[in-house]
Each structure stands twice: as C-alpha cells, then as structure tokens.
Amino acid sequence: MDYKKNKNIIIQECNTALEKVNIDDVNTLVQIILEAKNVFFIGIGRVKLGLEAFAKRLNHLGIRAYMVGDINEPAMRRDDVLIVGSGSGESLIPIAIAKKAKQLGGKIIHLGSNQHSSISKFTDLMIRIPVQTKLYLPDEINSRQPMSSLFEQCILLFADIIAMMIIEKQNIDLKNLWSFHANLE
C-alpha cells in the first residue's frame, strides 16, 4: 500500500496512452466541434461521468453540448455531432445511439481503443486512445489499474486538453469563462 508508487503508475499510464493519440485526428475533432451546432455525448458507467465533464466544459466555452437522454437534450440534426465514449466499441447502448445518429445525418466521433469495433461502421472519426479494454487486444496498452480505469482517466484528461485547444484557437479570455459557470451554488 504505497501512495507515491500508485500515483506514479497512474500518471505514467495516462501519459503513455495520451502520447499515442493521433494529433491530426485531434485537430480534426476540434474543428468538428467548433463547426457543430450541437455536440451530443453518449457513454456508459464511469466513461459517462468523464463525458458529462466534457459536455459541461464545452458549455463553459459557449458550445452547446448535451448528454443523450438528459431532459434538456434537443433533437439531433445534420449539423450536429455525437461523441461516443466506448473503449471496446462494443457496448450496446452507444452502438445503437451511434446508428440512430448516423441515420439522422449527424457526424459520429468515437473515443475508444478498438479500431475494428462494431461502432466503427457508423464512425466518421475515431480518436484512438489505445488503452487496455475488456477485449485485451494485443495492441492495447497494458494497465496495472482495475478494469477500464485508465480509459476513464484518459477521457477526462483528453476533454481538458481539447478545451484548452479550443480556448487557444478561439482566443478566449479565461476570466470571461466564469460567465458560463453555474451560479446557483
């Protein structure tokens, strides 16, 4: 039971995984988000929690972002994007939502590890974070953490990296972001 050792394992694993993300794909994602009228997110379990933080951060940047299924979710249109978080790309609900969003004409972005997943046939862009999934594919980064913890951590860090890229690209004054922050606290 060693705090520093475990901290170092987690930070190193996150760094290793995020270093392997394709920068061109990330730049494309930023452009898609900025061009979208609305950004929708779908994920399950702890991945959903990371995506909720991503949606909240985009709202802080003045970008309309919603979790699929939330009470305030508008209709999806052709000028919208759905960001799906699924390490394996095999979770049933995200696959079904991606299929429906594709039928509606939206763009589909997959944040995951498995490039050859069931969701790939609906995907316009995949951001591969090559972490260990429940499939234990040979090209995934092994993790000493339980289950999909590494993927969930990377989603949260990745979201903040994207937010910082948008702030830089849009030349947003950080002090002005507080006007979008919740104030019924």
Residue 63, token pair as written in the block: 């970008």
Residue 83, token pair as written in the block: 């960001």
Q: Is 152 a catalytic residue?
A: yes
Torsion of CA 37, 77, 45, 20, to 10 degrees: -60
| Residues 88 and 117 sit within 8 Å (Cβ to Cβ) | yes
Could you give the CA distance from residue 183 to residue 9 in angstroms, rounded to a whole number? 37
Could you give the CA distance from residue 41 to residue 84 in angstroms, rounded to a whole number? 6
From 19, 52, 152, 185, active-site residue: 152
Residues serving a catalytic function are: 152
